[in-house]
Structure 1
Amino acid sequence: MEENQPKTGKFSLNYGLILGGVSVVFGIMLFSQDMHTSQSPALMIIGIVLAAIITFLGINNFKKANGGFLTLSQALKIGAGIALISAIIAIIYNVVLVEFLDPDAPSKIMDARLGPALEEGTITQEQFEMQKEQSIKFWWMGYPVILILNIVIGLVLGLITGLILKKAKPAY
C-alpha cells in the first residue's frame, strides 16, 4: 500500500501566497510612508529575510507533512515555487502602484538611482536626463527581471534550507 505523499505544489502555492501577501503589505506600508521609491539596502535585506523565513517555514512544514522526510529536490521545488508565486503577486502590485497609485514612481526611482552620480559629477545633466528617459521608457523590462531574480533567490533559499533539513527515507 502506497502512502499519500504531500504535493510540493500545494506548499509552494500556499507559502507563495503568504510571502506575496506579506510583501504587498510591506509595500503598502512603504507607500504610506512615502518610502516606496527608496533605494535603501536595508529594505532589500528585509525583503530577503522575509523570503528566507517564509521559505524555511514552507519547506519545514512540507517535511513534517511528509513524515519527517525531505529530499533536496523537493526543497528546491518548494523554494522556487514559493518565489514564483510571490514574484507574480509582487509584479501585479508593482503594476498597480505604477499605473494607479503613483504614476511618477519610475521617475522618482530613477532620480534616487542616478541622483548620486549626478551630484558626484560622474555623469552630466544631459546624460542624467537621457538615462532617466531610457530607463522609464523600458520600465516594463524590470518585470521579467523581478521574476527571474526571485526564482534564483528562491532556489538558493530552497538549497540552503534543503541542505539543513534534508532527511532521506530509509531504503527498506
Structure 2
Amino acid sequence: METKPPTTGKFSLTYGAILGGLSIIFALMLFSMDAHTSREPLNQVISVVMSAAVIVFGIHAYKKANEGYLTLSEALKLGAGISLVSALIFIVYQLILTNFLDPDFASKVMDIQMAELVESGQLTADQAAQQKEMGMKFFWIGYPVILIISIISGLIIGLIAGLVMKKSRPAY
C-alpha cells in the first residue's frame, strides 16, 4: 500500500497559522507596551526573522515528510502559501485592532508620519493636515499592500530556502 505524498496546501495552512499566531502574539506584545504605532526598525527586523524562520521550518518539515525530496516549485508554493495564510490572519487582527482595540490607530500612525515630514521640512503644517485627511480616507489600502508584500517576501524566502534544500527524486 503506497502512502500519499504530502500536499503543499496542508503545510501552508499549518505553518501559515503558526506564523499568523506568532505575528499576533508579537503585535499584542507591542500593543501592551503601547509601541504598536512605533516605527522602530528592530520591530521590522524581528518580524522578518520570525517569518523567515517559520517559512524555512515549514519547507524543511515538508521535505522531511516527502521522503527527503523537495523541488524548487514546491518550496516556492510553500513560501507563498505560508505567507498568504499568515497575512490573512494578521489582516483580521489589524481589522480588530483598528476597529475595536485602538480605534484611533490610523490617526496615531498618520500623526507620526506627518510629524516626521514636517520636522524634515518636506511639508508645512497645513500640507501635513491635508495629507492626513486624505490618508485617513485611504488607510484601508494598507491591507492589500500587506498581502502583496507578504506573498512576495514569502516567495523570496521560499526561493532561497528551495535553492538550498532542493533534492530531486532519482530518475529510475
Amino acid at match of 2:157: L
The Cα RMSD (Å) is: 1.0
Give the match for residue 87 of structure 1.
87
Alignment of 1:112 onto 2:112: yes
Deviation at 1:121, TM superposition (A): 2.0
State the TM-score, normalizing by the size of structure 1. 0.97
Deviation at 1:3, TM superposition (A): 4.5
Deviation at 1:2, TM superposition (A): 5.3
Mapped to 1, the partners of 2:53 and 2:4 lie a distance apart of 27
Give the match for residue 42 of structure 1.
42
Give the match for residue 139 of structure 1.
139
Deviates more, 1:146-155 or 1:39-48: 39-48
Give the match for residue 98 of structure 2.
98
Mapped to 2, the partners of 1:132 and 1:79 lie a distance apart of 35
Amino acid at match of 1:95: L
* Mapped contact 1:75–1:159 kept (Cα < 8 A): yes
* Mapped contact 1:118–1:124 kept (Cα < 8 A): yes
Deviation at 1:133, TM superposition (A): 1.1
Mapped to 2, the partners of 1:116 and 1:6 lie a distance apart of 49
* Mapped contact 1:17–1:86 kept (Cα < 8 A): yes
Mapped to 2, the partners of 1:140 and 1:122 lie a distance apart of 24
Cα deviation, 1:39-89, whole Å, max 9, x if unaligned, reads 112111111100000000000000000000000000000100000000001
* Mapped contact 1:39–1:113 kept (Cα < 8 A): no
Runs of 4+ residues deviating >3 angstroms:
none
Percentage identity across paired residues of the two chains: 54
Alignment of 1:1-172 (within 5 A): 3-172=3-172
Amino acid at match of 1:14: T
Deviation at 1:144, TM superposition (A): 0.6
Which structure 2 residue ranges, 5 or more long, are not aligned?
Answer: none
State the TM-score, normalizing by the size of structure 2. 0.97
* Mapped contact 1:39–1:109 kept (Cα < 8 A): no
Mapped to 2, the partners of 1:3 and 1:15 lie a distance apart of 22
Amino acid at match of 2:35: M
Deviation at 1:33, TM superposition (A): 0.2
**How many residue pairs end up in the alignment?**
172
Mapped to 2, the partners of 1:47 and 1:125 lie a distance apart of 33
Mapped to 1, the partners of 2:6 and 2:99 lie a distance apart of 39
Amino acid at match of 1:118: V
* Mapped contact 1:63–1:70 kept (Cα < 8 A): yes
